[in-house]
Structure 1
Amino acid sequence: MSDFTALEHDVYLFHQGNLRYSYELLGAHGDTQNGNTGTRFMVWAPNARQVSVVGDFNDWDGREHPMKKWNENGIWHTFIPHLEKGEIYKYEILTPHGHLQLKADPYAFSSELRPDTASVVYPLDNNYRWNDDLWMKRRDEMNVYESPMSIYELHLGSWKNVEPEVYYNYRDYADEIIPYVKELGYTHIELLPITEHPFDRSWGYQITGYYAVTSRYGTPDDFRYFVDQCHQHGLGVILDWVPGHFCKDAHGLRRFDGEALYEYANELKAEKPQWGTLTFDFGREEVQSFLISNAIYWLKEFHLDGLRVDAVASMLYLDFGKENDEWEPNEHGGRENLEAIAFIKKMNEAIFEEVPNVLMMAEESTSYPLVSAPTYIGGLGFNYKWNMGWMNDMLRYMEMDPVFRKYNHNLITFSLFYAFSENFVLPISHDEVVHGKKSLLNKMPGDYWQKFANLRAFLAFMYAHPGKKLLFMGSEFGQFDEWKDIGELDWDLLEYDSHDSTLSFVKQLHQFYKDMPALWELDHHEDGFSWIDPHNFEQSVLSFIRCSRNPKDQVLVVCNFTPVVYHDYKVGVPHPGEFEEIFNSDAEHFGGSGQRNGLKASSTPEPWQGQEHHIKMTIPPLAVTFWKKTDGSKGE
């Protein structure tokens, strides 16, 4: 009997699309057979006429280590004694057309540094010792929906580097990034994909090694160290994950065994002309096992706290990014990819069964319903969705000269019509500050002072608005240039007062945000928000109340999106009492004009803006102020 027979049940589940840990079956694994230690190889290549393992250890000669075909469904296997960690290898595949091709291992845990493309034997049963037990326990007990969440999105290679295209190690990045992000008060770091990819400027979104930590920054254990250190310092880690498509590089998944295997055989379904990539065949069971296992792999093996799933809309719709002659409807005549929808639901169900209390965030840019609802009520099963509508409306509004904002007031109020239809994250991501879109600061209109004032007002409004928060690196200190994916952030700007003050503003905004349960506890519930006045388009002023479960925690928010100062401005309040300004984005130490309300405002028992009482205040220019009752009476 073969030593491989103990794996037969896993092989069966793999072909059924139900092997959630297929990375423990396929790929290169340390093993012992017939008293010899070495490496076991398994690969799925059903159309191949022959498969061999090749590398430096056999002079890349496919005759030396041919693989045996397990079954008619196309799993090939072999065991090579004395082959140890660090050896490079590929699969030599004889296609049904008689061509030999070399492919990297789809399940490789490590790869050569680009431009080299071979896989590297890196056993899964490593000896890394985690020290994040306290974090993992706290994560399991946390109600993430009713907790503050502010995410710092970053691309490792262009945050800082040795020189363009020469990068630090994950361990070095841990030592640099964690104190910085922690000091600013973020709760999570989100990394652009660190799965292996051949082209630096794809930022990791066009992948060849789904299970391989990119060797640009070190080894899998180096990355474990990065995550471990984040957790020990109280920071969660989210990874961008790309199940929607893969690149066409010759050593990757494209026509892996000479035929369409991981991609659809139907080119109209396979091709993503917008990106020059290929769509996974979501209806194929082995592909389901591959992708679901991959998500679980990152969450389990690297203790990640969540995945941000890239380009979900491109998975959901057959016509995404395509002309009329580039797609064909589904069996019901619609544009939805029914197989992808079923796969997404199956994937999320599996993930939350295997790794509860993680974040599954969909970057979904359409109005597809129930993205963040459970599958048992018809949802896709994510627990968060990026609010792309809010992002587009707000950036369009903020880029306008304040003179014209009153004609577009609906752009800042419309989001509250649907703010509680999903569990939303408010994202200002890398996509908004690259390819000629300008940096967040440079989107802002006006002179030098007004640009910074607009930026502070925008960020303060973002943190007052229902939904969790995400901001791309560099925006926190007002980088003028858009993101340079080759190079690093303009750290020298912090030598200038306006940028240093902006960084201080973001730090204090985070601390204020975390101290105010009203700004996050009921983020996803209508009881957490109520308008005071959304209608004052003439002055571009709006006011509202954020609430927590404790009525005493109510926070009044007043926003002014013009450079005009309004004195003795009346704002309705639902209850009598004294109100104190507790945060002002126009404070002098943030670089503002210093138009502040130093004295408490006592309410007057005269109705205003639909409320029974009102207070008078000074509203600073291009600014957001936060107010709270101070007399100890209940806000109910």
Structure 2
Amino acid sequence: MTLKEHIKLIIKAEHWDPFHALGMHEVRTEGKKAITVRAFMPEADKAWVVDVSKNKSYEMEKTSKAGFFEKNFENRKDFFQYKLKVKTSDNRIAEFFDPYSFMPVLSDFDLHLIGEGSHYKKYEKLGSHVVEVNGIKGVHFAVWAPNAKRVSVVGDFNNWDGRRHQMRVLGTSGVWEIFIPGLDDGEVYKFEIKSKSGEIFLKADPYAFYFEVRPKSASVVYDINRYRWDDSEWLKMRSEKNWLESPVSVYEAHLGSWMRMPEEENRFLTYRELADKLIGYIKDMGYTHIELMPVTEHPLDASWGYQTIGYFAPTSRHGAPEDFMYFIDKCHQNNIGVILDWVPAHFPKDAHGPGYFDGTALYEHADPRKSEHKEWGTLIFNYGRNEVRNFLISSALFWLEKYHIDGLRVDAVASMIYLDYSKKEGEWVANVFGGRENLEAIDFLKRFNEIVHQHHPGILTIAEESTAWTGVSRPTYLGGLGFSLKWNMGWMHDVLEYFSKDPVYRKHHHSNLTFSLLYAFTENFMLVLSHDEVV
């Protein structure tokens, strides 16, 4: 491909690797080695290359009205550190290091692990991260979009112009990345993705650590490594404790409705306010744990968090990530464990979410009979895809590692393990053996349980599973799914049925209280009265 063809693709914002043309390159001028710097800056009227070591500016030639600039250094043979200086039509002057002067940040080994689905700290590589490259501070962005024609980072820093910071795809990995010097914490951004068919999507970062407060939906660059924890005694105790031989009493809470501030327009409490008010209540009531209905970022309040968009971000409704860390830290300092409702079963169809991410069914199945829960209006993850399994498992490990969560209660397990869950005849596809079991989801759940227990001894995994599937809380090496505990939904329904009857007639229905003893020891059951029973 000729240089002109590369430039044409960059101007059209359709290049898969603009580094081929942009930045500093070695060229031949009349048979002699020389250096050239090229830049695409649609907002610029004039531009200069600034030699950092000499603090000297060299004006660039504008070779295209679209905003393409070039400067040849015929007497230079070696690369040098430089900045770009631009003057816009409204006479604003800006000077910055060129994003296209930096080598890839991700290693081949990272890409290999991502491809095979075994990069369990994937959240440290994809998403947005404040880093230093060659001594220059900025933000590294990376996203998986293997079927995209072009991916750009857009935000206030480039006026949401998808032409401005086009990313490069790394080999055949499907991972796109760029390092933008000068950016820092708090930067608002999305990924602008152009599909092979020419459609353009604005997508939130699936690996973002923080989001704007809804109804806004952009991701926010955030350094989550600044908080100083003070719960080492709790973590040591937890790693040595067998919770199956210890009392466990759990209080389930939805932070958005547990308490409000009516005198302040009925606003939500912050994580720090909840630490002051909720922890004392939990201690007075004698609970050992609190289970939080999903705090992962979600667009719709009415979903209670069960339609997650941000699998690595606590919702901004109640504050920043450090505020949520403070809440958990205070729980541990008061000997209260924290269990998080985690939802790998499905995700919403919101335009900024993972659905149809790069113009194809990427996180979900392409076949609507496999990809959709019509009852909930949500999409189902493709558990057979390495990168999707890796996304979910790294999310689980993220909450245990970065937020010191003590357990994960997995929502809607039955909807994962049965292909025909809540579906009519003709609305689902049988597995390779002709059965209704979702073999990929079952394998995913087993692997999830193996990995989280291996990496974090002493944590709990709890299944909300309402069918007669055997071995939910049996170890995987004995053929089970590997959960620590299973919600006893049968006991719950029987007990509520019993107490719903007039006291005069209850003596005829004592079997409702005793029937669960017939199967009580077939699983590690947790007796439960949950949010589902009060709506």
Q: TM-score range by the shorter chain?
A: 0.7 to 0.9
Aligned equivalents of 1:20, 1:313: Cα separation in 2: 25
Aligned equivalents of 1:165, 1:309: Cα separation in 2: 30
Aligned equivalents of 1:328, 1:194: Cα separation in 2: 33
**What is the one-letter code of the residue matched to 1:416?**
L
**What is the one-letter code of the residue matched to 1:98?**
G
Given that residues 111 and 173 in structure 2 are in contact (C-alpha distance below 8 angstroms), is that contact kept between their aligned partners in structure 1?
no
Give TM-score, length-normalised by structure 1.
Answer: 0.67
Aligned equivalents of 1:238, 1:165: Cα separation in 2: 26
By how many angstroms is 1:99 displaced? Answer: 1.0
* Alignment correspondent of 2:445: 344
Deviations 1:323-379 (A, max 9, x none): 112112111111100000011111111111111110000000101000001100100
Say yes or no: does 1:12 pair with 2:123: no
* Alignment correspondent of 1:417: 518
By how many angstroms is 1:72 displaced? Answer: 1.8
Given that residues 488 and 528 in structure 2 are in contact (C-alpha distance below 8 angstroms), is that contact kept between their aligned partners in structure 1?
yes
* Alignment correspondent of 1:446: none
By how many angstroms is 1:45 displaced? Answer: 0.2
* Alignment correspondent of 1:55: 155
Aligned equivalents of 1:7, 1:320: Cα separation in 2: 41
Aligned equivalents of 2:396, 2:136: Cα separation in 1: 33
Aligned equivalents of 1:386, 1:127: Cα separation in 2: 36
Deviations 1:28-81 (A, max 9, x none): 011112321100000000110000000001100111111000122310000000
Once the two structures are superposed, the pairs formed by residues 397-416 of structure 1 within 5 Å of their partners are 397-416=498-517
**What is the one-letter code of the residue matched to 1:132?**
D
Q: Residue 244 of structure 2 is aligned with which of 134, 140, 145?
A: 145
Aligned equivalents of 2:392, 2:188: Cα separation in 1: 24
Aligned equivalents of 2:107, 2:289: Cα separation in 1: 39
**What is the one-letter code of the residue matched to 2:107?**
L
Give TM-score, length-normalised by structure 2.
Answer: 0.80
Q: Residue 311 of structure 1 is aligned with which of 412, 433, 449?
A: 412
Aligned equivalents of 1:69, 1:380: Cα separation in 2: 37
* Alignment correspondent of 1:281: 382
Say yes or no: does 1:154 pair with 2:253: yes
Given that residues 40 and 80 in structure 1 are in contact (C-alpha distance below 8 angstroms), is that contact kept between their aligned partners in structure 2?
yes
By how many angstroms is 1:407 displaced? Answer: 2.9
Say yes or no: does 1:136 pair with 2:235: yes
Aligned equivalents of 1:188, 1:196: Cα separation in 2: 22
Say yes or no: does 1:118 pair with 2:218: yes
Once the two structures are superposed, the pairs formed by residues 536-615 of structure 1 within 5 Å of their partners are none
**What is the one-letter code of the residue matched to 1:121?**
V
Once the two structures are superposed, the pairs formed by residues 65-84 of structure 1 within 5 Å of their partners are 65-84=165-184
* Alignment correspondent of 1:35: 135
Say yes or no: does 1:388 pair with 2:489: yes
* Alignment correspondent of 1:537: none
Aligned equivalents of 1:255, 1:71: Cα separation in 2: 22
* Alignment correspondent of 1:353: 454
Say yes or no: does 1:242 pair with 2:308: no
Given that residues 211 and 297 in structure 2 are in contact (C-alpha distance below 8 angstroms), is that contact kept between their aligned partners in structure 1?
yes
Aligned equivalents of 2:106, 2:164: Cα separation in 1: 26
Q: Residue 106 of structure 1 is aligned with which of 206, 209, 212?
A: 206
* Alignment correspondent of 1:191: 292
Segments of 5+ residues of structure 2 without an aligned counterpart are 1-100
Q: Residue 170 of structure 1 is aligned with which of 271, 288, 292?
A: 271
* Alignment correspondent of 1:518: none
By how many angstroms is 1:6 displaced? Answer: 5.5
* Alignment correspondent of 2:226: 127
Say yes or no: does 1:64 pair with 2:203: no
Aligned equivalents of 2:468, 2:427: Cα separation in 1: 23
Segments of 5+ residues of structure 1 without an aligned counterpart are 435-636
Given that residues 251 and 291 in structure 2 are in contact (C-alpha distance below 8 angstroms), is that contact kept between their aligned partners in structure 1?
yes
SS at match of 1:324: coil
Given that residues 106 and 125 in structure 2 are in contact (C-alpha distance below 8 angstroms), is that contact kept between their aligned partners in structure 1?
no
By how many angstroms is 1:3 displaced? Answer: 4.2
SS at match of 2:267: coil
By how many angstroms is 1:402 displaced? Answer: 2.4
Aligned equivalents of 1:266, 1:9: Cα separation in 2: 32
Once the two structures are superposed, the pairs formed by residues 194-593 of structure 1 within 5 Å of their partners are 194-434=295-535
**What is the one-letter code of the residue matched to 1:102?**
L
Aligned equivalents of 1:3, 1:408: Cα separation in 2: 72
Aligned equivalents of 2:313, 2:163: Cα separation in 1: 27
Aligned equivalents of 2:102, 2:243: Cα separation in 1: 48
Deviations 1:535-559 (A, max 9, x none): xxxxxxxxxxxxxxxxxxxxxxxxx
SS at match of 2:430: coil
Aligned equivalents of 1:66, 1:165: Cα separation in 2: 43
Using a 3 Å threshold, how does the CA distance of structure 1 residues 392 and 317 change in structure 2: closer, same or farther?
Answer: same
By how many angstroms is 1:7 displaced? Answer: 2.3
**What is the one-letter code of the residue matched to 2:254?**
H
Using a 3 Å threshold, how does the CA distance of structure 1 residues 60 and 41 change in structure 2: closer, same or farther?
Answer: same
Given that residues 3 and 33 in structure 1 are in contact (C-alpha distance below 8 angstroms), is that contact kept between their aligned partners in structure 2?
no
**What is the one-letter code of the residue matched to 1:265?**
A
Over aligned residue pairs, what C-alpha RMSD do you find? 1.2
Given that residues 28 and 123 in structure 1 are in contact (C-alpha distance below 8 angstroms), is that contact kept between their aligned partners in structure 2?
no
Greater share of residues in strand: 2
Deviations 1:387-418 (A, max 9, x none): 00100111111111123223322211111111
* Alignment correspondent of 1:520: none
Given that residues 162 and 192 in structure 2 are in contact (C-alpha distance below 8 angstroms), is that contact kept between their aligned partners in structure 1?
yes
* Alignment correspondent of 1:89: 189
**What is the one-letter code of the residue matched to 1:307?**
L
